[in-house]
Structures are given as C-alpha cells and as structure tokens.
Amino acid sequence: MRVNELTVEIVKDSLQPVPDEEIYPGFPVTGLTAGPDDYSGRYVKRTAWADYEDVKGTTFLARLLLQEAHTMEFLAQRPHPNIVSYYGCQIKRDRITGLVLETFPLKHDLGFAAQRPELFKGLVDKNRIMYGLRAAVDHLHSIGWAHNDINPANIMLGEEGEPKLIDFGSCQPVGHHLMSCGTPGWHKDAFHLSNTAHDDYGLELLGPWLEKLFAEEK
C-alpha cells in the first residue's frame, strides 16, 4: 500500500497497544526515589522509543531505564559540578516513566553546534569544556565507574558555558557488561564491558572536534 492510499481508519486499525511492562519498570523499587510532583523547570528523560521495534516483545527498554535510574541514584550521592543533577524518578500508575533531571538555558546538546553554531556563539570555550569534562570523567573513574559514551551529543552547556555530562545509559562500574555500548564513531572498537579507556578515547576525539568548531566560529 502506498502512503497516499492510507486513511485514518486504516491507521487506527493498525495501531496496537504497547504493554507497559516492556517500556516502564514497576515502582516502588528498593533504592530508587520518586521525583517531585511538580516537574516544571526540570527535564524528564524518557524511554528510548526509537529503539522499540528492535526489541519489541522484550523488557529490554524497561530494564535499560531501570538501570540508568539506579546509576543516577548512585551518582546523586556522589555529585560533581560537571555531571547533570538528578531529582528522582517520574512515577505514573506505579511505573517509572522517566528520570527527572536539571534543565539548561540552551536546550540543545553540544553536538548540535555542528549544525547551528550561531546558537552557541560566546559559549564554546574549548579549554573550559575539556577541563570540566576531564574533571567529571576523573570523578567517575575515581569511584570505579566509566561513562562509556563521551561524545558531543552527551554534553550540555550551563548558563556560563560550563560543560555538563549527560546520558548515563552506558555508565557502569568498570568491568561490568553493558546493555548500551557507546556511539558509533566515538569509540575505537566494538565493546561490551565498561572501561575507563572508552572515556579517555572519547575525550581524545572531542579535543580536535572542539578545536575545529572553535576555529570556524572565530
């Protein structure tokens, strides 16, 4: 059937409900806290729906969200100024539907600077960004963890241009098996175990990437 032959009735008949348990972990869960009732002024990170068709019929996405919730709870007890702040889980109908995080004045991640550099004018300071990210990564490594997905899309900028590391779906203790394994083009080889070397390599690539961006902005 061609797209121009679709009707509202055909689309409605094709819709199928997605079981809650495939997407949203149950709550309460030991060790996890519910976020505030009022989420205004916060960002709610939700399930990676784009991957649903690849894992349909499993609880993979629910388990991935649950794992990241536990990671954020752990890191919230060991805060760092260059790591995104976490305020708990968004709860609806006794299920975790998202993670409540701090928001930023500039809504786009640093990766967007390659497409719209004018939005980042005056904010991109390579040295400050690299120093802050190195500090965040060193903090993770000092407690035996690795982020495993350092790339521009996982970096936000604060009001004064300070970097904030986000997206901890691949962050696990060193040596642990990973459910999510980095971003293509930002790691040397395929990997399945958490390792500090993945972070170091990502930072090695980020320096030249920022240098090019900063030079073009000038």
pLDDT computed for residue 69 by the predictor:
98
Confidence band of 214 (pLDDT split at 50, 70, 90): low
The predicted model scores a pTM of 0.90
Domains, in order of start, for the chain: 18-102 (3.30.200), 110-217 (1.10.510.10)
Q: Are strands 163-165 and 145-146 parallel, antiparallel or unpaired?
A: unpaired
Q: What backbone torsions phi and psi does residue 93 show, to the nearest 5 degrees? A: 50, 45
CA distance 56 to 101: 27
Confidence band of 213 (pLDDT split at 50, 70, 90): confident
Please state, rounded to an integer, the average pLDDT across all residues of the chain. 93
CA distance 150 to 83: 12
Long-range contacts of the stretch 33-39 (C-beta < 8 A, 24+): 33/73, 33/88, 33/89, 34/88, 34/89, 34/91, 35/87, 35/88, 35/89, 35/90, 35/91, 35/99, 35/100, 36/87, 36/88, 36/100, 39/90, 39/100
R_g over Cα of the chain:
19
| Residues 37-82 pLDDT 10s | 898 899 999 998 888 889 999 999 999 999 999 999 999 999 999 9
Sign of CA dihedral 64, 112, 86, 177: positive
| Residues 123-174 pLDDT 10s | 889 999 999 999 999 999 999 999 999 999 999 999 889 999 999 999 999 9
Portion of the chain with pLDDT greater than 70, in percent: 97
